[in-house]
């Protein structure tokens, strides 16, 4: 090589070493996929309502992180987005409101309409942002409670109750940090129908019976109290009453009776509160297992279907005065109970029928002026205070012989 070429090459190498290379873009803390399904047909944890579908979007808290959800308004009884902290609890955002964005509070994109806000066809577009800058802005959910350390876990849940025809379209998800954007694909199993959750293994059933112990001939009446659902991804739009109870003695059922709130009808999107007299958007009574991770009862039936442990407003029989009566019993008692006018059957677990169970009553999105709503009861109120506030809407209980129920009807079985 000629000397002058050698000098030029050396100079070029020196300059290239002096000029720093372009910095690699910062990593955007996005998950591998969006919308992991949750519910009684998948993992069956956290006391799911069997008329709801849930999808989880996990994230890692970073200052300045923005998550954008581009979707279309569904045709369903109810839809919402809610944020949760690392303990799976909801929280209060910087505007002092719960960390939830309910369907009728979502502002549609320009040119679209929200069917939960005014009469319109479903399918209009919306854009929701999850951000640490959520105060006083439309369609923004708080990313995490104020003061949350970077690197903490967080979750956003998309909920649907009673989607019309079972059709679901999940929002598109984009993570953005420091000007860099990542589109997160939808999880492969997000919309894959899952088989019903299997019953508890025999070993767990034996353990449950061992914990519960022998059932007394006349167990004490269970009494409902106001609970929060902390640590179990509670829906901020729901308010809950719950009570544990011992399984009825052989030949008996547990009766639960109260006045039903009027609810929005059907499975179509419609404005809330609308022009009707609905006191709540939805309500249900669900039977759950006391032990374990929070399972709702799901009993396999001989025809390959299941009997889920929830009965909602639309499949609960009402008396002329608007009251309901549930009879909680075994699947073997179902046909007899359903032959009693005005009584709705609610199943015990077929796998562990003698174990302790947990009843949960939900009221969703109470309407203005509904003084008997669970939402009016302070969290942590005992049964006496809860009953005082709710009045006739408070669920009262009592054990009853099945033979008495069939011969005398629900009025022959006292509740208190």
For residue range 44-56, what is the model confidence (pLDDT) as tens digits? 999 999 999 999 9
Q: Give the model's pLDDT for residue 168.
A: 94
Please tell me the distance from the alpha carbon of residue 344 to that of residue 97, in angstroms, as a whole number.
37
Q: Which of 289, 281, 269, 337 is nearest to 312 (CA)?
A: 281
Model confidence at 134: pLDDT above 80: no
Instruction: Express each pLDDT in 256-312 by its tens digit.
Output: 999 999 999 999 999 999 777 899 999 999 999 998 889 999 999 999 999 999 999
Q: Higher pLDDT residue, 14 or 182? A: 182
Strand ranges for 121-152 from DSSP E:
125-131, 140-142
What would the mean pLDDT of 220-238 be, rounded to a whole number? 92
Q: 366-412 pLDDT, tens per residue?
A: 998 999 999 999 999 999 999 999 999 999 999 999 999 999 999 99
Pair 313, 322: CB distance under 8 Å: no
* Cα-to-chain-centroid distance, residue 307: 19
Q: Residues 208-226: what's their mean pLDDT?
A: 57
| Count of C-beta atoms within a 10 Å radius of residue 414 | 13
Predicted confidence band of residue 43 (pLDDT cuts 50, 70, 90): confident
Q: 3-state class of 209 per DSSP?
A: helix
Output DSSP code: residue 391: G
Give the list of residues 6+ apart from residue 171 with CB closer than 8 angstroms, or none: 69, 70, 71, 128, 158
pLDDT of residue 26: 59
**Residue 194, pLDDT score:** 57
277 vs 70: which has the higher pLDDT: 70
**Which range among 5-19, 101-115, 336-350, 371-385 shows the weakest confidence by mean pLDDT?**
5-19
CATH of domain 36-184: 2.60.120
The predicted pLDDT at position 25 comes to 55
Which one-letter DSSP state was computed for residue 34? Answer: B
pLDDT of residue 146 exceeding 70? yes
As annotated, the residues of the chain forming the CATH 2.60.120 domain(s) are 36-184
Q: SS3 letters for 69-90?
A: EEEECCCEEEEEEEEECCCCCC
Band of pLDDT at residue 24, cut at 50, 70 and 90? low
5: confidence class by pLDDT, cuts 50, 70, 90: very low
Identify the pLDDT of residue 209. Answer: 31
pTM of the entire predicted model: 0.88
pLDDT in tens, 73-94: 999 999 999 999 999 999 998 7
């Amino acid at each position: 090589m000629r000397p002058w070429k050698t000098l030029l090459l050396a100079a070029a190498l020196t300059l290239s070493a002096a000029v720093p290379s372009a910095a690699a873009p910062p990593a955007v803390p996005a998950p591998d996929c969006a919308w992991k399904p949750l519910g009684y047909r998948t993992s069956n944890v956290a006391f799911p309502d069997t008329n709801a579908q849930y999808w989880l979007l996990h994230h890692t808290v970073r200052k300045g992180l923005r998550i954008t959800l581009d979707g279309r308004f569904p045709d369903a009884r109810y839809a919402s987005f809610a944020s949760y902290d690392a303990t799976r609890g909801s929280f209060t955002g910087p505007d002092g409101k719960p960390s939830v964005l309910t369907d009728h509070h979502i502002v549609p994109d320009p040119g679209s309409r929200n069917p939960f806000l005014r009469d319109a066809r479903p399918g209009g577009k919306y854009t929701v942002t999850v951000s640490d800058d959520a105060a006083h802005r439309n369609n923004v959910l708080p990313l995490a409670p104020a003061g949350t350390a970077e690197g903490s876990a967080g979750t956003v849940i998309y909920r649907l109750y009673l989607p019309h025809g079972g059709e679901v379209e999940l929002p598109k998800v984009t993570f953005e940090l420091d000007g860099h954007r990542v589109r997160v694909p939808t999880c492969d199993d997000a919309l894959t129908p899952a088989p019903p959750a299997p019953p508890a293994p025999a070993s767990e059933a034996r353990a449950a019976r061992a914990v519960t112990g022998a059932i007394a001939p006349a167990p004490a009446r269970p009494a409902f109290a106001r609970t929060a659902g902390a640590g179990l991804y509670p829906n901020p739009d729901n308010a809950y009453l719950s009570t544990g109870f011992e399984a009825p003695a052989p030949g008996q059922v547990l009766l639960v009776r109260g006045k039903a709130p009027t609810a929005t009808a059907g499975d179509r999107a419609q404005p809330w509160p609308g022009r009707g007299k609905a006191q709540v958007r939805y309500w249900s009574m669900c039977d759950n297992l006391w032990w374990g991770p929070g399972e709702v009862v799901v009993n396999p039936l001989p025809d390959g279907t299941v009997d889920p442990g929830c009965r909602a407003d639309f499949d609960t029989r009402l008396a002329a005065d608007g009251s309901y009566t549930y009879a909680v019993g075994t699947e073997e008692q179902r046909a007899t109970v359903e032959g009693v006018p005005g009584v709705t059957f609610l199943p015990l677990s077929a796998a562990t029928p003698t174990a302790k169970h947990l009843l949960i009553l939900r009221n969703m999105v109470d309407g203005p002026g509904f003084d008997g709503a669970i939402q009016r009861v302070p969290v942590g109120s005992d049964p006496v205070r809860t009953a005082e506030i709710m009045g006739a809407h408070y669920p009262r209980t009592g054990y009853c012989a099945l033979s008495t129920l069939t011969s005398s009807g629900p009025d022959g079985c006292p509740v208190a």
